[in-house]
Amino acid sequence: MRSLDRTDIDLLIDGVPAQIATFERGPQAETRPLALWFVLRCNEKGAADNSKFIREAAKYFRPALAHLESRDTVGVAHWCGDGSNAIDLRPTFDHNAAVKVIETITHGKAVEAERDGRKQAASLKEMVNLVLADAGESKTRPLAALVFLYDDEAADAMHETDQHSLSDKHSSESYSPWFDEDTLDSLSDALLKSSSVVYGIGPLHGSKNDAMQTNERTAAFLRPSLSYLTFVTAGRYFAAPSEMSGAAVEDILLRLHSRYELGFSFKISGRHSASFELRRDTRRMYPRGQLYYCQRFIAFASEEGAGK
């Protein structure tokens, strides 16, 4: 659906019809440029499989990054279980530099992760805030798209658990060893306030002949907490063998370049729900069309007292 405009969509805020103030179309290059961030956990003792997957996947990123538009940039950041974190490469037009930095991180000396999960969570939150601050300080106001390259250490244990709805945070976070509820709240708030989006790419647990898995319920089964963040920000988690990781990046870029950015005014600060629906005539034109959007947003008061 590459030719929609504001007359094709109905907006509901907290269940009440609202007016769309601005409407920008990605297919017509009206939206902001992208700042694509590869985010990974550093090389840690006992997590060799994770580093191996990322190292093997990185070589497939090069051709995929050719799909970035001329105004888009790519950056790299990492966090470690010992509490450290860093922006390793600020957004650049040099795609090869990003791949080289990822490879350098995965070949680095393995560090010992802290047993204190709070220190790990603090490191992760600090790193994400650094990334979001970088995007916020840019004159081009890019859309920050964080692509987590991570293999949850609890994946094997989760294969025997039931799948849970991504709309239920508490059932989601209870199965993850590294995202507690406070971390999820802090990260989701920061991402929503900055209108950023989260994606994830990790190994496919199963036959390499299986298709790349992208549906939300599969993602929830494999990576509950990361999948929750992708759900909140209207992103997606991709479970794939390393040789298909490039295809996952291409899919992410296609989604981002095809996006629509809608703006509206809102006078009550705080968290709210939003829903977007195709109008009846538009649904007839696109009977199989489906909208993916952030179902929540955080309004904040401007100097004039209006909300955004």
Please state, in angstroms and as integers, the Cα–Cα distance from residue 60 to each residue in 51, 65, 96, 214, 265, following that order. Answer: 15, 9, 11, 18, 42
Q: What residue spans define the domains of the chain?
A: 6-29+265-299, 34-257
Helices (H), 215-292: 216-222, 224-232, 245-257, 280-285
User: What is the mean predicted confidence (pLDDT) over 20-49?
Assistant: 78
With 90 as the cut, is the pLDDT of residue 170 above it? no
**SS3 state at 48:** helix
pLDDT at 117: 67
222/240 Cα distance (integer angstroms): 11
**SS3 state at 193:** helix
- The mean-pLDDT minimum among 43-57, 138-152, 281-295 falls in 43-57
pLDDT in tens, 65-91: 999 999 999 999 998 878 889 999 999
Place of tokens 């709805």: 165
Residues of the chain above pLDDT 70, percent: 75
The pTM assigned to this predicted structure is: 0.80
Task: Report which listed range, 158-167, 209-218, 234-243, 299-308, is most confident.
Answer: 234-243
User: What is the mean predicted confidence (pLDDT) over 280-307?
Assistant: 72
CA terminus-to-terminus distance, the chain: 26
The CATH homologous superfamily of the domain defined by 34-257: von Willebrand factor, type A domain (3.40.50.410)
pLDDT in tens, 197-246: 999 998 876 544 454 555 444 343 345 677 788 888 989 888 888 899 99
With 70 as the cut, is the pLDDT of residue 171 above it? no
Q: What backbone phi and psi angles, to 5 degrees, belong to 176? A: -115, 135
128/123 Cα distance (integer angstroms): 9
User: What is the mean predicted confidence (pLDDT) over 272-283?
Assistant: 87
**SS3 state at 197:** strand
Name the strand (E) or helix (H) holding 73.
Answer: strand 73-79
